[in-house]
């Protein structure tokens, strides 16, 4: 191969990585079938590897992918479709194939149907009729365009198990006739929060990991949340989640030391925080908060923003953070929120008051409950109790980095 052919192949691979989700979403609308859509887009990729090195990279690679995949989809319907699905597919494609009214074409050519398709598919993937695990897996496969083996690796699941989960979820979408559309105004807030919950789960799954070779899931979650914000610009909680992700991601470089060990907020070298991510996150949340409709994601982002402005733990506006936690607790009166609030109470009112709050919480199975208690106990000079609590936390920790961290603390490290 000549080098320009290599370049074309690289461009094709990159274009498909970026555009796959959009193309699949459009094809699902056209073909009414997720498997056929995925297959058609895969076929288009193979075709791109043939054609692009020979004829050059098309002016709009994404448009080429959708158009080529659509034609492949039509071929599949013609070749394999039963009579029933052939009629259905033909009807869908007819809706698309009619020539647009030239007068309208001028007005409409700026609209971007691709984005609407992606939004529709996002709501389909995060439909409450599917289990949460399936929602996450489908979103990563169909919207983010991740390979099944990468999703399986991220969730520490064998690849065949993940493949089965995806197949079952897609079958369920077809069997339960889950509508392929953006929900109406009445259900929208509830359905948006389901989508946000999935995106946040994807983010946290990637954030728990130390740096790896593959692009972390947290970056993928940020990308998807960013497009959700573009698609639904009036959803403040979507903006809040984006800000929260950016502010959290900004701290990643300081989160592990050179040995790969976890570093808590108090011990982090704040000069390592990514200034551009911090600035973007802070800008977004500042815009949201003036609207005075702060939901849980906005409040958490605001808390993170206050941290991001402080040069050190000591010089943090803890009272401001406490009042944000009060607002958060009013909306989400859960034990985990109260646990996090107690950490702030320790800074504002002292560890004794904070310890009495934490002791009353029913979170004995949660490793951070033990870790938080241990921290307060150690600050109160109750060393033996603190060690016990650190060990109990280490035994329950979900990742090796966190286990090692808590075990180290138990030994006075």
Partner 1 sequence: MALYLVAAQHRADSPFNLLEDHTQVWRDLTDFDDELRAAGALVFSRGLEEPDAAVAFRTHADGSVARQEGPYAPTTLAGMWIIDCPEQDAERWAQRCAAAHRCDVELRPFQPHVSDQLKELP
Residues at the interface with partner 1 (CB under 8 A): 26, 55-56, 58-60, 62-64, 66-68, 70-71, 102, 105-106, 109-112, 114
Nearer to partner 1, 72 or 239 (CB): 72
Closest CA relative to residue 196, chosen from 297, 340, 324: 297
Say whether 292 sits in a helix, a strand or coil. coil
Q: Which is nearer to partner 1, 97 or 158 (CB)?
A: 97
**How far apart, in whole angstroms, are the C-alpha atoms of residue 233 and residue 239?**
8
Choose between 59 and 362: whose C-beta lies nearer to partner 1: 59
Minimal distance, residue 106 CB to partner 1, in Å: 6
Distance in Å, CB of 78 to partner 1, minimum: 14
For 174-195, letters b (16+ CB in 10 Å) and e give eeeebebebbeeeeeeebbbbb
Residue 34: count of CB within 10 angstroms of its CB: 25
Q: Write the Ramachandran bin of 412: left for phi over 0, alpha for psi from -120 to 50, otherwise beta.
A: left
User: Cα separation of 208 and 301, whole Å?
Assistant: 18
Q: Return the number of the residue (52 or 318) whose C-beta is nearest partner 1.
A: 52
The CB-of-59 to partner 1 minimum distance in angstroms stands at 4
Among 208, 202, 32, 185, smallest CA distance to 126 is for: 202
> In angstroms, rounded to a whole number, what is the distance separating the alpha carbons of residues 253 and 337?
26
Return the number of the residue (1 or 110) whose C-beta is nearest partner 1.
110
Q: Tell me whether residue 109 or residue 292 sits nearer to partner 1 (CB atom).
A: 109
Taken in order 52, 46, 92, 75, the sign of the CA dihedral is positive
- Minimum CB distance to partner 1, residue 63 (Å): 4
Least Å from the CB of residue 112 to partner 1: 6
Closest separation in Å from C-beta 46 to partner 1: 17
d(CA 11, CA 49): 10
Return the number of the residue (113 or 189) whose C-beta is nearest partner 1.
113
CB 211 within 8 A of CB 219: no
Quick one: CA dihedral 22, 24, 30, 34, positive or negative?
A: negative
Q: Count the neighbouring beta carbons within 10 Å of the beta carbon of residue 58.
A: 18
Q: How far apart are CA 40 and CA 73, in angstroms?
A: 5
- To partner 1, the closest distance from the beta carbon of 65 in angstroms equals 9
Cβ pair 244, 194 in contact under 8 A? no
From the CB of 180, what's the least distance to partner 1, in Å?
Answer: 19
Q: Tokens standing for 330?
A: 């009013």
- In the chain, DSSP finds a helix count (H) and a strand count (E) of 21, 0
Q: How far is the CB of 12 from partner 1 (least distance, A)?
A: 15
| Residue among 404, 269, 251 at smallest CA distance from 413 | 404
Instruction: Considering the complex, state which of residue 110 and residue 156 has its C-beta at the smaller distance from partner 1.
Output: 110
Shortest spacing between CB 100 and partner 1, in angstroms: 8
């Amino acid at each position: 191969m000549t080098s320009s052919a290599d370049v074309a192949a690289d461009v094709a691979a990159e274009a498909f990585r970026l555009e796959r989700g959009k193309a699949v979403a459009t094809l699902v609308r056209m073909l009414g079938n997720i498997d056929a859509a995925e297959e058609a887009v895969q076929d288009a990729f193979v075709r791109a590897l043939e054609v692009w090195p020979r004829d050059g990279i098309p002016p709009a690679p994404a448009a080429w992918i959708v158009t080529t995949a659509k034609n492949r989809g039509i071929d599949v319907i013609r070749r394999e479709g039963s009579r029933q699905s052939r009629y259905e597919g033909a009807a869908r494609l007819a809706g698309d194939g009619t020539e647009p009214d030239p007068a309208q074409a001028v007005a409409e050519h700026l609209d971007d149907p691709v984005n609407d398709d992606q939004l529709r598919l996002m709501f389909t993937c995060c439909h409450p009729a599917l289990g949460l695990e399936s929602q996450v897996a489908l979103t990563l496969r169909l919207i983010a365009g991740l390979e099944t083996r990468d999703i399986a690796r991220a969730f520490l699941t064998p690849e065949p198990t993940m493949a089965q989960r995806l197949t079952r979820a897609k079958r369920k979408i077809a069997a339960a006739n889950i509508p392929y559309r953006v929900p109406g105004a009445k259900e929208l807030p509830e359905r948006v929060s389901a989508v946000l919950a999935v995106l946040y789960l994807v983010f946290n799954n990637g954030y728990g990991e130390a740096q790896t070779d593959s692009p972390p899931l947290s970056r993928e979650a940020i990308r998807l949340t960013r497009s959700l914000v573009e698609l639904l610009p009036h959803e403040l909680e979507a903006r809040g989640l984006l800000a929260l992700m950016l502010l959290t991601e900004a701290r990643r470089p300081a989160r592990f030391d050179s040995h790969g060990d976890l570093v808590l907020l108090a011990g982090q070298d704040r000069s390592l925080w990514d200034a551009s991510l911090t600035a973007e996150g802070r800008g977004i949340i500042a815009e949201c908060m003036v609207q005075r409709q702060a939901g849980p994601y906005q409040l958490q982002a605001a808390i993170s923003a206050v941290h991001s402005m402080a040069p050190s733990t000591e010089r943090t506006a803890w009272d401001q953070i406490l009042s944000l936690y009060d607002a958060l607790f009013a909306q989400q009166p859960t034990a985990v929120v109260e646990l996090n609030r107690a950490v702030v109470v320790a800074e504002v009112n002292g560890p004794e008051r904070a310890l009495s709050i934490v002791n009353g919480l029913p979170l004995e199975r949660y490793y951070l409950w033990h870790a938080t208690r241990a921290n307060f106990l150690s600050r109160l000079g109750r060393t033996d109790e603190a060690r016990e609590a650190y060990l109990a936390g280490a035994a329950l920790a979900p990742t090796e980095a966190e286990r090692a961290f808590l075990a180290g603390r138990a030994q006075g490290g």
